Structure 1
Amino acid sequence: MSKPLISRLSSDDVDFKSDLEALLAFESALDSGVQKAVSEIIADVRVRGDAAVLELTRRFDGARADSMAALEIPQADLQAALEGLASEQRAALEMACKRVRDYHERQIQPDWEMQEANGTRLGQRVTPLDRVGIYVPGGKASYPSSVLMNAMPAKVAGVQEIIMVTPTPEGERNPLVLAAAALAGVDRVFTIGGAQAVAALAYGTESIPAVDKIVGPGNAYVAEAKRRVFGRVGIDMVAGPSEVLVISDGSGDPDWVAMDLFAQAEHDEKAQSILLCPDAAYLARVEESITRLLATMPRADIIRTSLADRGALIHVRDMDEACEIANYIAAEHLELSVEDPEALLPKIRHAGAIFVGHWSVEALGDYCAGPNHVLPTGRSARFSSPLGVYDFQKRTSVIRISRQGAAELAPVAATLAYGEGLQAHARSAEYRK
């Protein structure tokens, strides 16, 4: 029997919980072959630096470069790419850039200080990272939006230097990606990708300076490389495939919902699109829309595989249960495609981004709404947040204890230190009594 175009589940099914778990499961980054290859690449880059990066870029991307200098794109080329865009493309890119910048400027955190009656002052300083690396995918598709979403919050945070890496298979450069780098203020761009690019950013080479944090999406090799270099540098997250979860009350146009599901499914075959709805008849209408509209999609094969392997139309008892299931799934993108979305909003605790109402489509968030589209995947929205200015800053405690304050605190610290068996800690505190 052939596989259905998209699975149909019901929360009333006896095996619903296990079926949902199986649907959500995704562990590609743990593939032993990927782990071994990435481990070898990182070790090679650490030992041989530029020579390894150059050799690997030739092997994997078909680069014809004979030196690392040939893999760096000059600022003049970035600016030329921007100036060479069609007016409509440039206007769209500039508007998206402005909206992303404006949104992230609201996230800037100030220093603060509190003062006690005895003169002790306690506070926090917020300072930017010195240098960050942003990974921008290339190959099957190029994403100028990823440049903006990763570089702009770093720029707003005050990062001193932004290094961008992006693969250019067979030397093919995407002018929109380069133009976005110019607009976002990226300082240096290298046409390298994969685990070798992550390793170069983490450890540095003769030509590529080591960074303090690496952000940006990539394939399984990039994700595994980021996982392995974490600790040497910071990372944003180990991202999985893109996800959308739509909650519908049956009030919207089924063609709209079908296309919203397609919009995630077309990313790649592992992307996930799920619809929750208490109206069985509406689910049937959406399924009919999926069947009818799929043939009109240029990326129909990718969408078909994604929906068949990881998609689902789920019948729920009511909207309260839909919210409970949504909180369990903790999706990257959650659309509240309902008549009264404000009534549901307080019930949602876990989602990377919430799109409120029929007009708040996730595709707008991907490009130009303003909030960041780098979001937690794989249920990690339970404990993670969207990329933001705060990811490119660090917080430092500032402690100024007055003489009187030390006298008051020393006995407390000494008592606790003796209780832990740390006599030097206790004596150090007692000296200040």
Structure 2
Amino acid sequence: MFSTSLNTREKSFALKFDKYLLKKNSFNNSISSEVELIISNIRKKGDSEIISYNNKFDNRNISNTSELLFTKDVIKKSREKVDKEVLDAMQFAFNRIIEYHSKSLSISKKNIQNSQIYSVSRPLDKVAIYVPGGKASYPSSVLMAAGPAKATGVKDIYLTSPCPNNKINNLVLAAASIAGIQKVYSLGGVQAIAAFGLGTDTFPKVQKIVGPGNQYVNEAKRQLYGEVGIDM
């Protein structure tokens, strides 16, 4: 495997650097093409393609997009499965996040060269939060993304996270409950970004998508930038 550690003082630097660029561009082009195809198909066919890709990539067998929305009962039961100490820690963290961002919302004014410059924060109407799933658990991503949205007064906050093999992440759902997010979807990957970036019969088109993801998720954000705001 080619090392990404490069030394400009080495005689072979130019050759190694060229090889690195070729490998990097080839890899990115492959991902870019896959992502472009998925987005294109979802743009044309909407929910049916979202179901198809979700079943394919997350090894699931759903027939309707309504199955992707977690019910309040499921979210409640997931929260009940999390230790009280963990819930208390998440609540404490979320309160601190809200407090921090609330203090940054005040109108600021500067006098520069006899001109008054104001900085005003206004909330978006709809925001989607993407939270990775799979082997790891990222409840902190829920809290860190939802905090600023709640503090600024975003009206509708949606959360989407993959559930491969129908495995529910209790910590993520508990964090969503603490953050007061009403609509949580078990959808991940490019199809999740396209769903909220484009909008379908089931999924609302949001103004911004935030949250970490893998290379495919980030590439989907990049390709949809301009149609939807992103955090990159």
What TM-score results when the alignment is normalised by the length of structure 1? Answer: 0.46
Task: Classify 1:152/1:30 alpha carbon distance in 2 versus 1 (closer, same or farther; 3 Å).
Answer: farther
**What is the identity, as a one-letter code, of the residue corresponding to 1:157?**
T
Paired residue for 1:80?
Answer: 77
Q: Distance in 1 between matches of 2:147 and 2:90?
A: 13
1: CA distance, partners of 2:28 / 2:139: 29
- SS of the residue corresponding to residue 127 of structure 1 reads coil
Secondary structure at 2:77 match in 1: helix
What is the correspondence of 1:171-250 to structure 2 with a 5 Å cutoff? Answer: 171-237=166-232
Match of 1:142 among 137, 159, 169: 137
Q: Residues 153 and 33 (structure 1 numbering): CA distance in 2 closer, same or farther, change over 3 Å?
A: same
Task: State the secondary structure of the residue aligned to 2:133.
Answer: coil
Q: Contact between 2:125 and 2:207, CA under 8 Å: does it hold in 1?
A: yes
In structure 2, list runs of 5 or more residues that go unmatched: none
Deviations 1:100-151 (A, max 9, x none): 222222222427699xxxxxx9866531110011110011312111111111
Query: Is the Cα–Cα contact under 8 Å of residues 28 and 220 in structure 1 kept in the other structure?
Result: no
Distance 1:227 1:30 in 2: 16
Q: Is the 8 A contact 1:45 1:199 kept in 2?
A: yes
Match runs of 1:10-409 below 5 Å: 14-15=9-10, 27=24, 31-110=28-107, 125-237=120-232
Q: Which residue identity is paired with 1:158?
A: G
Contact in 2 for aligned 1:133/1:163 (Cα 8 Å): yes
Are the counterparts in 1 of residues 50 and 195 from structure 2 also a CA contact under 8 Å?
A: yes
Corresponding letter in the other structure for 2:89: A
**Structure 1's 28 and 172: CA in aligned 2 closer, same or farther, altered over 3 A?**
farther
Cα distance, 1:74 vs. partner? 1.8
Specify whether residues 173 and 134 from structure 1 end up closer, same or farther in structure 2 by C-alpha distance, changes over 3 A only: same
- Alpha-carbon distance in structure 2 between the residues aligned to 1:88 and 1:192: 28
Matched residues in 2 for 1:183 and 1:29: separation? Answer: 42
Cα pair 1:29 1:223 within 8 Å, conserved: no
**CA distance, structure 1, for counterparts of residue 229 and residue 61 of structure 2:** 32
User: Number of residue pairs matched?
Assistant: 222
Which whole-Å CA distance do the structure 2 matches of 1:29 and 1:205 have between them? Answer: 32
Q: Percent identity?
A: 39
Q: Structure 1 residues 39, 179: CA separation in 2 closer, same or farther (over 3 Å shift)?
A: same
- For 1:64, the aligned partner's letter is N
What are the superposed Cα offsets for residues 170-196 of structure 1, whole Å, 9 maximum, x if unpaired? 100110000001111223111111111
* In structure 2, distance between residues paired with 1:168 and 1:225: 19
* CA shift for structure 1 position 63: 1.6
2:36 partner letter = S
| Separation in structure 2 between the aligned mates of residue 107 and residue 229 of structure 1, nearest angstrom | 29
Q: Whole-Å Cα distance in 1 between the matches of residues 24 and 210 of structure 2?
A: 20
Unpaired segments ≥5 residues, structure 1: 115-120, 238-433
What CA deviation, in whole Å up to 9, does each residue of 1:199-220 have, x standing for no partner?
A: 1111101111000001111111
> TM-score, normalization: structure 2?
0.84
Kindly report the root-mean-square deviation, in angstroms, between the aligned alpha carbons of the 2 structures.
3.1
User: For the pair shown, which has the larger CA radius of gyration, 1 or 2?
Assistant: 1
Structure 1 distance, partners of 2:179, 2:72, is 12
Return closer, same or farther for 1:39/1:112 CA change in 2, 3 Å cut-off: same
1:78 deviation in Å?
Answer: 1.9
2:70 & 2:61 partners in 1: Cα distance?
14
Secondary structure at 2:129 match in 1: strand
Matches of 1:29 and 1:235, distance apart in 2: 25
More divergent stretch after superposition (66-75 vs 79-88): 79-88
